[in-house]
Amino acid sequence: MELRTAIRQRRAVRDYTQEPVSAATLRELISAASWAPSAMNEQPWHFTVVTEAALLDEISSRSKEWMLKGVAAMPRPGHFRDLLADPDFHIFYHAPALIVLSVPGDGQWGAEDCALAAQNLMLAAVDQGLGTCWIGFAQGWLNTGEGHNVLGLPRQSRVVTPIIVGYPKTAPPPVARKAPLITWIGTMAAPPEPEPPPGASNGTLIHP
Ligand SMILES: Cc1cc2nc3c(=O)[nH]c(=O)nc-3n(C[C@H](O)[C@H](O)[C@H](O)COP(=O)(O)O)c2cc1C
């Protein structure tokens, strides 16, 4: 698949079949992730792969409870309170696999490094016919002592990027992009602005 196609086709997928993703395929995604640049080439990422449905259910429930305690400080608290209190809302959308990128916790650039690795992973997944979604909802509880324990991570770790992976059941709707704010400095004339992609809508601008 051409890179530009993969970039356009990658969407946050929130509807998965229960078909498992093989360990070999997950390992290929991790290889793609590990080709990302990293500050001082530290490659500080640690990949934890969870495919046990009962553990994914537990992390989902515990994360929802944890976030509900602080929901008043979230943007759109009413919306998130309803969502998090809904017993049918699963933060991983019942995806068959979760890959958590974490760092040892003492590096300055761990978040940047993991975000770059995660984007490689998500683009490589598109190439394999897989869907992914970064689940920020999981970051809070996974960064508690209990969260570290369930993943077997050392206490000083920092969970940066929980990414669900699975075969999409339905294609997500296109999500519009804002026109990028660009400042051109220099003598180069700005090129004409490209047309927005066909079919783009406002979609889900804030996760559900
Ligand atoms: C840091 C970060 C955290 C996110 N957390 C969640 C999340 O917890 N749940 C969710 O459904 N989507 C989450 N998303 C996905 C975004 O909502 C999604 O990328 C955005 O709406 C744009 O849609 P697209 O990825 O399909 O282009 C997150 C994305 C990022 C980058």
The pLDDT tens digits for 115-171 are 999 999 999 999 999 999 999 999 999 999 999 999 999 999 999 999 999 999 998
CA-based max dimension of the chain: 59
Among the listed residues 204, 44, 41, 22, the one whose alpha carbon sits nearest the alpha carbon of residue 125: 22
pLDDT band at 205 (very low <50, low <70, confident <90, very high): very low
Answer whether residue 195 shows pLDDT above 90: no
Atom 1 (ligand 1) nearest CA: 136
pLDDT digits (tens, 9 = 90+) for 8-50: 999 999 999 999 999 999 999 999 999 999 999 999 999 999 9
Q: What atom in ligand 1 is closest to the CA of residue 161?
A: 1
Whether pTM > 0.85 for this model: the answer is yes
**What residues have CB less than 8 Å from 115, skipping those under 6 apart?**
160, 161
| C-alpha span between 74 and 136 (Å, rounded) | 13
Atom 27 (ligand 1) nearest CA: 11
Instruction: Give me ligand 1 centre to Cα 195, in Å.
Output: 24
Q: What is the mean pLDDT of residues 185-201?
A: 78
State the CB neighbour count (10 A cutoff) for residue 161.
27
| C-alpha span between 80 and 87 (Å, rounded) | 13
Mean pLDDT of the chain: 93
pLDDT band at 86 (very low <50, low <70, confident <90, very high): very high
Ligand 1: lining residues by beta carbon, under 6 Å: 11-12, 14, 133-137, 172, 175, 204-205, 207-208
Answer whether residue 189 shows pLDDT above 90: no
CA distances from 153 to 2, 42, 47, 178 (A): 36, 19, 10, 38
pLDDT band at 199 (very low <50, low <70, confident <90, very high): low
User: What pLDDT shows up at residue 208?
Assistant: 58
User: What pLDDT shows up at residue 175?
Assistant: 85
Instruction: Give me ligand 1 centre to Cα 9, in Å.
Output: 15
Where do the domains of the chain lie, and which CATH numbers do they carry? 3-166 (3.40.109.10)
Atom 20 (ligand 1) nearest CA: 205
